[in-house]
Amino acid sequence: MDKFDKLSGIAAPMPLVNIDTDMIIPKVFLKSIARTGFGKNLFDEMRYNRDGSEIPDFVLNQPAYRAAQILVAGDNFGCGSSREHAPWAIADFGIKCVISTSFADIFYNNCFKNGILPIVLPQEAVDVLMKDAEKGANARMEIDLEAQTVTTSEGESFSFEVDSFKKHCLMNGLDDIDLTLEKGAAIDRFEAQATQARPWV
């Protein structure tokens, strides 16, 4: 997993509430447990017509937002089923940070496990960031995880809270497997001692 420290990127505005995981990645695409290849189907039903052509009005189809790395969204983002494919699709598209007033708990925790920073801010702050995101590719937001701040293209800054352990994992690029591997030496010692103590096991 890539380390997350600071991010300067284009923010796409998506002021919809209750964006659920089936909207993020429809169930028809849940045919693989690989973490890659889902970005092309992110928000599939909102991005494409039935014939596969793009819907021009959808934000991520607009030239200014095709390279967006930040998503500013409405309340209760990531609700619905617990599918981990949702953060996989977001990450595979290239979005590294989602900002909202609230997230579904399972989606929120899955984001950290997949290198995505979910930021919770009050409605007033999200309104300011949404308006800033509407400026398009010329407006770049700054995310500083160490300082726990989001800064608009005009320099207005907002502080956010994040669990210290989740912050540590993101800043060091540690997913659940990496955390286990960090304890590799201790695990090896335990197994050696267990084999000596109970060789019949």
Predicted TM-score (pTM) of this structure: 0.88
Model confidence pLDDT, tens digit, residues 26-44: 999 988 887 888 999 999 9
> How is the chain split into domains, by residue range?
6-174
Strand pairing class (6-14; 140-144): antiparallel
CA angle 19, 5, 137 (to 5 degrees): 55
6-174: in CATH 3.90.1150.10: no
51: tokens are 């014939």
**141-196 pLDDT, tens per residue?**
999 999 999 999 999 999 999 999 999 999 999 877 666 666 667 776 777 677 78
pLDDT of residue 183: 63
Quickly list DSSP for 74-91: -SSBTBSS--THHHHHHH
Helix (H, G, I), strand (E, B) or coil at 117: strand
pLDDT in tens, 81-114: 889 999 999 999 999 999 999 999 999 999 999 9
